[in-house]
Structure 1
Amino acid sequence: MGALMSTHIVCYSGGVASAIVAYEVVHRYGAENTLLINHNINPWVEDWDIKRFKQEVSDYVGVPITYVNMPDWDTKDQLDVCVDAKAFKVGIHPLCTNRLKTAPFHKWLDQNYPVRKGSCRTDVTLYYGFEKDEPARIERRRSILGEKGYRTAFPLKEWSGIISCTREIGIEPPLTYDVWKHANCTGCLRAGRQHWYVVYCRRQDVWDKAKRAEAIIGYSIIKGTYLKDLEEKFEQMRKAGIRADEKMKAPTFWAAAKRILGAQPSEEVLSCSVNLS
């Protein structure tokens, strides 16, 4: 067990990776020393089974979820906040991540675990479910939070002997993994064409709203093309029976599309965060 005065804050996205981290942190340091921080996302784009999963893991480890939500989270989604700001990105980073997650979290940290300028909170550690194969993402997050005075840890990369799936503790992962790669918003603004093909086939309501957002903002979600310009190709793919999920790696997926349709769209593969995470 860790020292009683030490606080272990798990950035708990609702995906399997962060759930494993939650379990392992509680197992190592105790429920009484652990916080699970989550940003509730509008249920229109965050599947009900992700919410089920978050609660089941929380109940299992004995730590209630601390929700750190943006204002109007239950009426606005990732597209709404971008339309409000008239932008999809700030620099190279999706604006929605900041509005839905990062800004509320940093405000909560400043209010609950403030750091004096030039010092470091040695009694607080922030935990993330970043994978072993994400070294750049890990170092960037460590650097950003280190500059703010917080220590970080990444158990999936740094700890040994941890569980590999929540099924090991009797909790089924979200059903969304049967279709999507991550437990992120449906209509992820970090994602590439494969994700949006799945949205086109499975969530026409999200697709249509995203098209309207592009028209209002005047920029495309996917670099180099607007969604409306992909509809004809995507409809051909749908009619040809090309599977509408993210289970297949992007190069293999588009190779299949090329074989069937005789043309391969140029795919820009971008990593998703939640994280969302």
Structure 2
Amino acid sequence: MAERKTVHVAMFSTGAASAFVAYNMVQTYGKENSILFFTDTLWEDEDNYRFMQEVSDYIGVDITWRVDGRTPEEVFHDVRFLGNSRMAKCSEELKVRQTLIFLEGLRDDHNLEPILYFGIGPHEKHRADNLRAFYEHNPIEPIETRFPMIDTFRADVDVKKIIQEEWGIELPRMYKLGFAHANCGGRCVRGGLGHYAQLYSIWPERYKEQEEMEERFRQAFNKDVSILKQRNGKSFTLREYREMMEREGINKFLKQPDYDDTVPCVCTTF
């Protein structure tokens, strides 16, 4: 078999850093050698889709879009495990698995060798290390990963300013709304107390959707489980948290610790 041709794949999370990395990848290697890759959980905020399409138009590369077809809730029921800050099977099934299937298709069906590009910055080098190790130990065949925000660009590059002022593209609205990350339209199960307080303050209806989703799982499997946890490790349902915020005032909860950043997650939107 002929040697595989290299193809450069931007792992587009619909965030600013991954958009900037994608643009520079295409400028370096050409549109014909580049792929803009997105995996959809079906829970994304609608404005992320708007941003994604405008970035695609600006870069001049169509989005390669992969969808498992299930929502995170459907994954939780299929695997009989409610996602939380320590384990997010939704990410494994809806993003990682779809990515690996796509990459092996590039190799097997098109004789292409993918190199992956992530928009992870120097402040999250541990996430880059985790991703690099994960793809290096891919059981079928290792996959090269690159992290230009760490290895190539200046540490102080203001990608948000560049996108807004030079590209003329408005950033996803979740940045302005104060979310630390834009996973799943604010419904990310890896979010912590501060994240869910923010979600309740901005979009109480989405918080209620998560609250109802959590209760459906608890009822379906008769398990005392929850997305959030108390400091003693016991379950702490979203209903209990909402009632506490309503009693004591939401402001005291907005600065609570966010999701556990020591846990590698490939779906974070930057």
1:6 positional shift: 2.5
Runs of at least 5 residues in structure 1 that lack an aligned partner in the other structure: 115-120, 245-249, 255-266
**Local SS of the residue matching 1:10:** strand
User: In the aligned structure 2, how far is the partner of 1:197 from the partner of 1:37?
Assistant: 31
Q: Deviations 1:56-76 (Å, cap 9, x if unpaired)?
A: 001111110001211x2xxx4
1:27 positional shift: 1.5
Runs of at least 5 residues in structure 2 that lack an aligned partner in the other structure: 231-235
Q: Deviations 1:115-167 (Å, cap 9, x if unpaired)?
A: xxxxxx99431111112111221111101111221111001111125662221
User: In the aligned structure 2, how far is the partner of 1:145 from the partner of 1:138?
Assistant: 11
Residue 221 of structure 1 corresponds to 227
Residue 47 of structure 1 corresponds to 45
Residue 147 of structure 2 corresponds to 154
Aligned-CA RMSD value: 2.8
**Local SS of the residue matching 2:8:** strand
Residue 244 of structure 2 corresponds to 233
Residue 111 of structure 1 corresponds to 105
Map 1:259-274 onto structure 2 (within 5 A): 267=257, 269-271=259-261, 273-274=266-267
Letter of the structure 2 residue corresponding to residue 275 of structure 1: T
**Local SS of the residue matching 2:40:** coil
Residue 92 of structure 2 corresponds to 98
Letter of the structure 1 residue corresponding to residue 75 of structure 2: V
Q: 1:206 to 1:241 in 2, by over 3 A?
A: closer
User: In the aligned structure 1, how far is the partner of 2:33 from the partner of 2:124?
Assistant: 27
**2:91, 2:267 within 8 Å by CA — same for their partners in 1?**
yes
The 4+ residue runs of structure 1 with deviation greater than 3 A are: 89-92, 214-217
Answer yes or no: is 1:126 the counterpart of 2:116: yes
1:208 positional shift: 2.3
1:111 positional shift: 1.9
How many residues are matched?
Answer: 242
Q: 1:69 to 1:122 in 2, by over 3 A?
A: closer
**Local SS of the residue matching 2:122:** coil
**1:183, 1:274 within 8 Å by CA — same for their partners in 2?**
no
User: In the aligned structure 1, how far is the partner of 2:21 from the partner of 2:182?
Assistant: 15
**1:124, 1:151 within 8 Å by CA — same for their partners in 2?**
yes
Higher helix share: 2
User: In the aligned structure 1, how far is the partner of 2:127 from the partner of 2:250?
Assistant: 35
User: In the aligned structure 2, how far is the partner of 1:18 from the partner of 1:83?
Assistant: 31
User: In the aligned structure 2, how far is the partner of 1:50 from the partner of 1:236?
Assistant: 33
Residue 78 of structure 1 corresponds to 72
**1:128, 1:153 within 8 Å by CA — same for their partners in 2?**
yes
User: In the aligned structure 2, how far is the partner of 1:40 from the partner of 1:269?
Assistant: 21
Of 61, 75, 85, the residue aligned with 1:63 is 61
% identity of equivalent residues: 29
Q: 1:234 to 1:214 in 2, by over 3 A?
A: farther
**1:187, 1:207 within 8 Å by CA — same for their partners in 2?**
no
Answer yes or no: is 1:170 the counterpart of 2:179: no
Using the TM superposition, name which of 186-195 and 202-211 deviates more.
202-211
**Local SS of the residue matching 1:275:** coil
- TM-score, structure 2 normalization: 0.79
**Local SS of the residue matching 1:190:** coil
Using the TM superposition, name which of 82-91 and 147-156 deviates more.
82-91
Residue 208 of structure 1 corresponds to 212
- TM-score, structure 1 normalization: 0.77
